[in-house]
Amino acid sequence: MVRRAAVVLAALALFPPLGSAQQPPAYHDTVVVTATGEEKPADEVSAASTVIPASLLRAEGVTTVAEALRWVPGVTVLRSGLDAGVTSLFVRGTSSTHTLVIFDGVRLNSPFFGGYDWSLPLTVGLGRVEVVRGPFSALYGGDAVGGVVQLMPARLGGNTLRALIEGGSDGWQREEVEAGLAGGSWDAYVSAAGRAGDGALANDDFWSRSGMIDLGMTLGSVGRIGVLVRRTTGHTQIPFSGAQLTPRRFTAAEESLVALPLRWRLGQRGTLEATLSRVERSLQFRDPDDASGFVSGDTASDSNGANLAFHERFGQHRVTVGGEWREDAVTDASNFGTAVNDLRLRTRSLFAQDDWSPGGGFGVLAGVRWDEADPWGSELSPRLSVSWEGRPVRIWVSFGQAFRAPGLGELYYPFSGNPGLAPERSHAAEMGASVPLSGGRSVLQVVGFANRERDLIEFDLTRFRFENVARARQNGVEASWIATLGDGGRLQAALTWLSARDGDGRTLLRRPAWSGALTLDGPLAAKVEGAASLVWVGSRPDADPVSLARVVQGGFVTANVALTLRLAKALSARLRVENVADRSYEEVRGYPSPGRRVMVGLETLIH
pLDDT digits 0-9 by tens, 65-99:
999 999 999 999 999 988 888 999 999 999 999 99
Which residue range is the domain that position 363 belongs to? 2-288+297-606
Instruction: Look at 80-84, 367-371, 392-396, 573-577 and tell me which has the smallest mean pLDDT.
Output: 80-84
Residue 441's pLDDT band (cuts 50, 70, 90): confident
**Mean pLDDT, all residues of the chain:** 92
Q: How far is CA 310 from CA 37, 130, 142, 306, 348, in A?
A: 10, 22, 21, 14, 17
Which pLDDT score is estimated for 291? 87
Nearest CA-CA partner of 216 in 241, 182, 244, 191? 182
**Rounded mean pLDDT, 433-454:** 93
Whether the CB-CB separation of 111 and 328 falls below 8 Å is answered with yes
Residue 31: per-residue pLDDT? 75
Residue 24 has pLDDT above 80, yes or no: no
Structural domains in the chain (count):
1
pLDDT at 589 over 60: yes
Mean pLDDT of 88-115: 96
More confident residue, 439 or 24: 439
Residue 547's contacts (CB-CB under 8 Å, 6 or more residues apart) are: none
3-state secondary structure (DSSP) of residue 27: helix
Chain centroid to CA 328: 22
pLDDT at 256: 98
**Pick from 97, 69, 84, 164: nearest CA to 125:** 164
DSSP symbols for 182-239: EETTEEEEEEEEEEEE--SSTT--EEEEEEEEEEEEEETTTEEEEEEEEEEEEEEEEE
Contacts of residue 456, defined as CB under 8 A and 6 or more positions apart, other chains included, come to 95, 424, 468, 469, 470, 471, 472
pLDDT of residue 459: 93
Burial 214-233 (b: 16+ CB within 10 A, else e): bebeeeeeebbebebebbbb
First-to-last CA distance in the chain? 46
445 in Cβ contact with 50 (< 8 Å): no
Q: Do residues 113 and 95 lie in contact, with contact meaning Cβ atoms separated by under 8 Å?
A: no
What pLDDT is stored for residue 393 in this prediction?
92
Angstrom CA distances, 282 to 330, 336, 410, stand at 10, 18, 18
State residue 1's pLDDT score: 46
- pLDDT over 60 (residue 4): no
Quote the radius of gyration of the chain (alpha carbons, Å). 24
Would the pLDDT of 25 be above 60? no
Residues 508-546 have pLDDT tens digits of 999 999 999 999 999 999 999 999 999 999 999 999 988
Asked if pLDDT for residue 605 goes beyond 70, the answer is yes
User: Where is pLDDT greater, at 195 or 33?
Assistant: 195
pLDDT bracket for residue 29 (50, 70, 90): low
Q: What is the mean pLDDT of residues 390-415?
A: 95
Mean pLDDT over 351-368 rounds to: 96
Asked if residue 173 has pLDDT above 90, the reply is yes
Give the model confidence (pLDDT) of 218-254 as tens digits. 998 899 999 999 999 999 999 988 888 999 999 999 9
Q: Which CATH number fits the domain that encloses residue 473? A: 2.40.170.20
**pTM value?**
0.93
